[in-house]
Amino acid sequence: MGRIRKIKDANSLIKNYGWLLQKPNDKYFTNGNPLYIEVGSGKGDFIIQSAINNPSNNYIGIEKDQTIVLKILRKIDSLSIKPTNLFIINDDAKNLLIWFKKHSISKIYLNFSDPWPKKRHEKYRLTSKYFLDIYHELLIGGKLVEFKTDNQGLYEYSLESLKSSKHFNITYKTENLYLDKNEILNNVQTEYEKKFIALNEPIYKITFQS
């Protein structure tokens, strides 16, 4: 989808926004509502719209690129009515266990993650054993992870990774999400998803449960 042009001083600019969590804290929200997180939030369309659609849930988006985080924060700031159930974290997914208590998350979203196609980069794939073990520690028992991608190779890799996992069972899978009318009823599109749909590209989806 093209390279993101870096914004000068993004590191300092993002700290001016109240939706940025700047350090780990056990009390992100005080309302006791279920916590949903998106690992790799892109430009923020999905996590922002999800928070707006579901005010009784809490949402946190995790994104490591500071320029992209700044774009998300600016997007939230531009809203006429700003969601009070949303925060953003600027960090790498490998640090999730620093930010969140074990068994504190109700759902994890993995939307159009980097496929890291080279074998030597397997450990960076967000459905590798390394990350599946982290998700298992974070999720409340019986809760779900939803994974969407346009990349067939990553989809197939994720199926194999999940089949060998001791912690997860696949509850749903499809090689063309938009052919399943029931599944797309409450589907929230990401900015990448919109582009792929416009190009008539299939969207792969897997839902798996701890």
Active site residues: 114
- If you count DSSP H runs as helices and E runs as strands, how many of each does the chain have, helices first? 7, 8
Nearest-angstrom CA–CA distance, 126 and 129: 9
Alpha helix positions (H), 110-207 = 129-138, 152-163, 191-198
Structure tokens at 105: 């998350």
Backbone angles phi, psi at 39, to 5 degrees: -95, 110
Nearest-10 crossing angle of helices 152-163, 129-138: 60
Structure tokens at 150: 């346009």
